[in-house]
Amino acid sequence: MYSKKTMKSALETLMFMWGEPLEVKDAAEVLEAEKSEIRGLFRELQTEYEQEGRGIRIRECGDAFGYITYIENDIFVQKLCTPVRVRRLSQAALEVLAIIAYRQPVTRSEIDSIRGIKSERVIDGLMDKGLVEISGRSEGVGRPLLYSTTREFLKKFGFASLKDLPEVPEYEEMRREREEAGGQLSINFDEDAEENKDSETMAGSAGDND
């Protein structure tokens, strides 16, 4: 027979490893104890977690128990899971990513033409991050590779589909803004997904470092 302390510790481990509500009967079999005793230990743990203000709580579901997060900590979870932290992407990477997102499928030469600078290294970096992928070949001369954004791009930026991308001026207006500013086109995405949808184009110079 295991001690009460050992059984409580075991129940915590079993709930964590099981990943879903753990049935009382299953826990009782593992610990070679009566279901009523195991159920009582689960409920004691549940009370202890609440009284100690733990960030993890125990929820009873039918005749099973499982871990849940404390609802008041949701604000911190949201901060941790905020889509793409823009500071991890260089200005050049953001610029190329925006062009691909709005013009896809697009060739590297088209991207270079819009930016006014070579983009090969930047594209490779975005592919390494899983935000951009090769989606085929153009029917043009030489059949150059076509680039498109990935599902990971949508996930990281908090978009359900490409239809959720914020509206921006068309190609010619984008080129004109770039020329007037004397630099390369840049579309600014903020860290917050909601702010992403309200972003507008802005001109500014950008280096080619990824």
Domain boundaries, the chain: 4-74, 86-203
pLDDT at 180: 61
More confident residue, 210 or 81: 81
Is the pLDDT reported for residue 145 higher than 60? yes
User: Which range, of 21-30, 78-87, 103-112, 142-151, averages the lowest pLDDT?
Assistant: 78-87
**Cα separation of 92 and 209, whole Å?**
7
Least confident of 25-29, 92-96, 97-101, 169-173: 169-173
Query: Which one of 1.10.10.10, 3.40.30.10, 1.10.645.10, 3.90.226.10 gives the CATH number of domain 4-74?
Result: 1.10.10.10
**Which amino acid belongs to residue 140?**
G
Mean of the pLDDT values across residues 177-189? 50
- pTM, two decimals, is 0.44
Highest-scoring range by mean pLDDT, 32-46, 111-125, 141-155: 32-46
Helices (H), the chain: 4-18, 24-31, 35-51, 74-80, 91-103, 108-115, 120-128, 151-157, 171-181, 193-197
CA–CA separation, 85 vs 74, rounded Å?
Answer: 19
Looking at residue 186, its pLDDT comes to 44
* Per CATH, domain 86-203 is 1.10.10.10: yes
Question: What is the pLDDT averaged over residues 14-35?
Answer: 93
Q: Using DSSP bridges, classify how beta strands 22-23 and 56-61 pair: parallel, antiparallel or unpaired.
A: unpaired
Q: Is the pLDDT of residue 205 over 90?
A: no
What is the rounded average pLDDT of the residues 112-117?
A: 90
In angstroms, rounded to a whole number, what is the distance separating the alpha carbons of residues 171 and 34? 71
Residue 207 has pLDDT above 70, yes or no: no
CA 66 to chain centre: 25
